[in-house]
Amino acid sequence: MAHVEKYTKGSVQGLSIHWDRKTENHSNQEIDNERSNLNYDLCEKEGDTLSRMNDRLREVHCLNRKDVKVCSDWVVTLPENLKGTSEKEQREFFEKTYEFLANRYGGEKNVLSANVHKDETTPHMHFAFMPVVWDEKKQREKVSAKEVLTRKDL
């Protein structure tokens, strides 16, 4: 199962604390801090989600408005038939999902993080990315969740 959400720059700060597990006091009571060491990020870039977002924003055009959705997040849950399988098989599922989504949304340059959470009830991955398209008129990349996440695409 999977679902996608779109977020403004302001909301990414709080979300990145959750995605990157930057605190031990979580609002989500299902997080088991003793299993947080099992979590991993498939995105191999330097920094955390927030710094990666800010780095990418310096490279692309983005309207300076508070309501612009600069980040999208797919939450992909481990399928039922893979629960109880080896860690290697589960990791392989998340790695293949990562590759598929990275290719679908413009490559590694748009990936902000791919945190696999094994410290909650159900293992899942938060695939956070910047929705970027090529602006033919202005000949530059721009942030546009509206153009990237269309009904047809979903």
Question: What is the pLDDT averaged over residues 128-141?
Answer: 97
Q: Quote the pLDDT of residue 23.
A: 62
For 25-57, write each residue's pLDDT tens digit.
555 567 778 888 889 999 988 999 999 999 999
Question: Which residue matches tokens 């589960």?
Answer: 90
Q: Quote the pLDDT of residue 92.
A: 98
Residue 135 pLDDT class (50, 70, 90 cuts): very high
Q: Give the start-to-end residue ranges of the domains of the chain.
A: 2-148
For 118-133, write each residue's pLDDT tens digit.
988 899 999 999 999 9
Note the CATH architecture for domain 2-148.
2-Layer Sandwich (3.30)
Q: Higher confidence at residue 145 or residue 23?
A: 145
- Answer positive or negative: Cα dihedral of 23, 28, 29, 32: negative
Question: What is the three-class DSSP state of 148?
Answer: helix
Within 8 A by CB and 6+ apart from 72, the residues are 4, 5, 6, 7, 105, 128, 129, 130, 131, 145, 148, 149
Question: What is the pLDDT averaged over residues 68-77?
Answer: 97
